[in-house]
Amino acid sequence: MRPIAEGLYTREPQPRLIGGRESSTGRIVFPCPSSSGYEPVALQREGTLWSYTVQRYRPKSPPYAGPEAFRPWAVGYVELPGEVIVESRITNVDFADIAIGMPLELTLIALDPDDADSVMIPAFQPKGARS
């Protein structure tokens, strides 16, 4: 499957998000801006959950272009220590088991798991969970 956008993550067996390091300050952001002054940098694969919520209602269409059969999903801010905090889906965990501070690792999931032609998006799952 193809990525939702080019340049979000590396294409290696253990993918990593691609952030941008600002050349004048060293500050890291995600995603990497296309403007000059930023150098692409592969971010850590592991982090901790900083905050989260569960999206329990179908967003307005457009712009929502997800599956017609809406299923709630968890979304959180994941702190990659010493780098940046990224917003991401949280996957492969029951909503009741999600906890701030839990260790997470990067994975890739289909935006629409029922569509064989769906695009892949980065997400985080509990460390050691099976994708």
Q: What angle do CA 97, 99, 105 make, to 5 degrees?
A: 90
Kindly tell me if the per-residue pLDDT of 76 is higher than 90. yes
Burial class for 47, CB neighbours closer than 10 Å (0-12, 13-18, 19+): buried
Q: What pLDDT is recorded for position 117?
A: 84
Q: What pLDDT is recorded for position 103?
A: 98
Mean pLDDT of the chain: 91
Query: Could you tell me if 19 and 32 are in contact, meaning their C-beta atoms sit under 8 angstroms apart?
Result: yes
CB atoms within 10 A of CB 37: 11
Q: What pTM was computed for the model?
A: 0.89
Kindly tell me if the per-residue pLDDT of 38 is higher than 80. yes
Q: What pLDDT is recorded for position 44?
A: 97
Q: What angle do CA 72, 67, 63 make, to 5 degrees?
A: 90
Kindly tell me if the per-residue pLDDT of 9 is higher than 70. yes
Give the whole-angstrom CA distance, residue 94 versus residue 77. Answer: 17
Chain mean position to CA 48: 13
Question: How many residues are listed for the chain in this entry?
Answer: 131
From 31, 127, 38, select the one nearest 86 (Cα to Cα): 31
Kindly tell me if the per-residue pLDDT of 118 is higher than 90. no
